[in-house]
Amino acid sequence: MSGQVSEAALAVLFQCVQMLVVLALAPLLTGVVRGIKARLQGRRGPPVLQPYRALLRLTRKEAVVAENASWLFRATPYIVFTMLWLAAGLVPTFTTALALAPVADLIALVALLTTARFFTGLAAMDIGTAFGGLGASREAMISALAEPAMLAVIFTLAILLQTTSLAAIVDGTLGQGVGLRVSLALGLISLIMVAIAEAGRIPVDNPATHLELTMVHEAMVLEYSGRHLALMEAAGMLRLLLFMALILCVFVPWGIAQPGDGPTAWAIGLGSFLGKLLAAAVALALFETTVAKMRVFRVGEFLGGALLLGLLAAIFLFVSTAL
């Protein structure tokens, strides 16, 4: 009994640590990706800690809100940030012994992301300028394809491991080992494509531009300033971290501590997570410097491909198990 109690207490502790870890690491990850990209492009680039300073500076600045903005506009940054923080807190990074693991599974995680996106879109349309509508409309098109593609990948994982709970997926992969499968490879490619689209990275969206022809996410947060902008930016950074952590924990879970593990395993979990994250950041920076941004209407084909890959992954699973 006392063992159970201490295990529960540990899970709560880990959950709090997890929430803080994702919060602390998200700006660093963005800074690292920017830094590596600058190096690859032959620039020196800003210091990796620059995103922290930028966020801090924004929170201190005065918030300017358009005259006809409603309460929804001012509430949205809080809603969006909370949703992403909660979602990022649900993805196992260094341990699967998380208190919130039963509260929301992968499907609920997708829904939390949808909620954040929904409110971002609403806030974008609240001011009544052309840019907000443009961003919301493009984002709606992108997410209409990205979300089912992501769910298709989740279906594949769920069928393979008989669960949609993230912690159980990691435990399952670590425990029994699912081996190399065609479906998993297809699912991985599909999920990476979705992550690129959802996190607003090149070639779907360019986080560093204010060019009306190409921007999607930026067009939606254009009217924000001060602390509201800080929250929206921080939410964007959390989103990037979340997708990376999700891919890492599902496809390369090795090193993550499990319930019952000791302090060494926790340290290994944290260390391996940082290492994997750095590798992912390098990969993303490399990828982003080698591809060009695509036209908005090509995104439909890109994500349609991701959706088909996700579905193929699920169907291949039946074929391979039937053989």
Partner 1 sequence: MPALQFVLPSLLLLLTLGGIGAVRPRSPRTALIVYGGTAACCAVLVLAALVHLLGQGGVWRMPVPVGLPWLRSELVLDALSAVFLLMVNLAGVTASLFGWGYGRAQAGSGHGLEPGRVLPAFPLFLAGMNLVLLASDAFLFLVGWEFMSLTSWLLVLANHREAGNREAGRIYLIMASFGTMVLLLCFGVLAGSAGGYGFDDIRAAPHDPLAAGLAVMLVVLGAGSKAGLAPLHVWLPLAHPAAPSHVSALMSGVMTKVALYALVRVLFDLAGTPDWWWGGVLLALGSATAVLGILYALMQDEMKRLLAYSTVENIGVISVGLGLALVFKADGQQGVAAIAFSAALLHALNHSLYKTLLFYGAGAVLTATGQGGLNRLGGLIHRLPRTAPLVLVGAAAISALPPLNGFASEWLLFQAVLSGPQLGLWEMKVATMVVGVALALAAALTAACFLRFYGIVFLGRPRSPAAAQAREVGPAMLLAMLLPAALCLLVGVLPGSVLALFGDAAAGMVGTPMDSRAGTLAWMWLAPAAPGDGFGGNSYSGLFVLGLTAALTVLLRLLIVRTSDAAVRRGEPWGCGHPDVGPVAQYSGDSFSQPLRRVFAAGVFAARERVDMPEPGEMRPARLEIRSSDPAWTWLIDPLCRAVGWLADKVNGMQFLTIRHYLTLMFGALVFLLTVVAVVK
Q: How far is the CB of 42 from partner 1 (least distance, A)?
A: 29
Q: Is 223 in the site for partner 1 (CB under 8 A)?
A: yes
- Number of residues located near partner 1, criterion CB under 8 A: 88
Q: Is 66 in the site for partner 1 (CB under 8 A)?
A: yes
- Nearest to partner 1 of 223, 288 (CB atom): 223
- Nearest to partner 1 of 32, 309 (CB atom): 309
Q: Is 165 in the site for partner 1 (CB under 8 A)?
A: yes
Q: Is 322 in the site for partner 1 (CB under 8 A)?
A: yes
Residue 299 neighbours by CB under 8 Å, 6+ apart: 141, 142, 145, 197, 204
The residue from 28, 98, 145, 194 that contacts partner 1 (CB under 8 A) is 145
CB 215, CB 206: distance < 8 Å = yes
- Nearest to partner 1 of 126, 288 (CB atom): 126
State the DSSP string of 210-262: --TTT-SHHHHHTT--HHHHHHHHHHHHHHHHHHHHHHHHHH--TT-B-TT--
**Rounded to an integer, what distance in angstroms lies between the CA atom of residue 231 and that of residue 239?**
12
**Rounded to an integer, what distance in angstroms lies between the CA atom of residue 39 and that of residue 160?**
40
**Rounded to an integer, what distance in angstroms lies between the CA atom of residue 175 and that of residue 168?**
10
Q: Is 132 in the site for partner 1 (CB under 8 A)?
A: yes
Q: Give Cα 209 distance to the centre of its chain.
A: 20
Q: Is 138 in the site for partner 1 (CB under 8 A)?
A: yes
Q: Is 92 in the site for partner 1 (CB under 8 A)?
A: no
- Nearest to partner 1 of 150, 285 (CB atom): 150
Using CB under 8 A, which residues numbered 5 to 44 contact partner 1?
A: none
The DSSP code for 127 is S
Q: Is 305 in the site for partner 1 (CB under 8 A)?
A: no
